[in-house]
Amino acid sequence: MGTRPTTFIAGKIISEIEMQKPVAIWLLVCCALVFAIVVVGGVTRLTDSGLSIVEWKPIVGTIPPLSESDWEEVFEKYHKTPQYKKINQGMSPDEFKTIFWWEYFHRLLGRVIGLVFFVPFLYFIVRKKIDLPLGLKLAGIFFLGGLQGLMGWYMVKSGLVDNPQVSQYRLTAHLGLAFIIYGAMFHVALKLLLPVYTSHTDDKLRSLYRFSQVLIGLIFLMVLSGGFVAGIRAGQAYNTFPLMNGHFIPPEIFMIEPWYKNFFDNIATVQFDHRLIAWVLAILIPVFWYKSRQLALSKSTHLACNLLLLMLIVQISLGIATLLMVVPLPLAASHQAGALLLFTASIWVNHKLR
């Protein structure tokens, strides 16, 4: 009597997973594309390419310059920007094309992500593979994607007026929103592939689960602090480790008035904050990993915890190397990619502990 209902429930669960598997795979493909655009966006920023296209044309802008007259027109528009006048005056057409293509592919990838998300979304709705609660979540993610496009242009506009650098506030918002979109899609995909049907009954397991939530929040906070580091080029200073030019706390940390602006505008404070959060994670994640070893978790959950610790080591190593070598392009881009991989590992661990 007890076997048949159990078998029926198990069969129903497997059937639900199989039905939702295409949706989960689609979301993971979107995650991969967002990962790519985060890396390309990092390279675009590091090569000072983000201000090379001075107009935002979501549809017409898909077509790049095709003739010499087209190139002359876009180059002439770039001549009027503060970046050209104050930094790149005398730049050759070939040099301009190099920075143009980075920004163009960054924007093109954003359009591709929008299509890859929207078209299958409509298809799954028509085929009734998405129920109302899931549909609302996915619609919310699509809305965030549109908002991200607007935020990207809002960020670029800040560097086209007087200052040849984009606002660190808008840059950080743009980066943070990308991580939120990625995290939301990855979280939903995990719930579809690995649904949770039980609740916590063990206090230690519940405590570890909450610990993992704290780690996600801290990693996201570190990403935001990294956005400010990138925005004001704080990585170009204090290129020593573990001390900052001989100090654990640099004396310049509160030299700007009012005091709260130091956390966003002061190179010393912004870099110190980023380092401090990294130190906190360097302590908490190994503690979390040690606690996970004390519990009878599944092999896949232990694997997720191990990968979280491994990604922490890789990310901190990349950060230190990037700092000591004064932000070389390959290392800096890898450091940004590493942040997203660390964020991914933390979400996976959190889901496995559910």
pLDDT higher at 276 or 7:
276
Helices 3-46, 329-352: inter-axial angle, 10-degree rounding: 160
Instruction: Look at residue 3 in the predicted model and tell me its pLDDT.
Output: 54
Helices 132-157, 93-126: inter-axial angle, 10-degree rounding: 160
Mean pLDDT of 92-115: 96
C-beta neighbour count of 144 within 10 angstroms = 16
Q: Are 175 and 223 in contact (CB under 8 A)?
A: yes
- Is residue 8 predicted with pLDDT exceeding 80? no
pLDDT tens, 240-252? Answer: 999 999 999 999 9
pTM of this prediction? Answer: 0.93
Instruction: Look at residue 4 in the predicted model and tell me its pLDDT.
Output: 55
Question: CA separation (Å) from 269 to 31, 236, 254?
Answer: 33, 13, 7
Alpha-carbon gap, residue 258 to 242, rounded angstroms: 28
Q: List, in order, residues 6 or more apart from 41 with CB less than 8 Å away.
A: 106, 174, 175, 178
Instruction: Look at residue 62 in the predicted model and tell me its pLDDT.
Output: 87
Where are the chain's structural domains?
12-195, 198-354
pLDDT tens, 197-214? Answer: 555 568 899 999 999 999
**pLDDT range class, residue 161, cuts 50, 70, 90:** confident
Helices and strands: H and E segment counts in the chain: 11, 0
Mean pLDDT of 157-166: 89
- Residue whose C-alpha is closest to residue 297's, from 200, 191, 188: 200
Burial of 110 (0-12, 13-18, 19+ CB in 10 A): buried
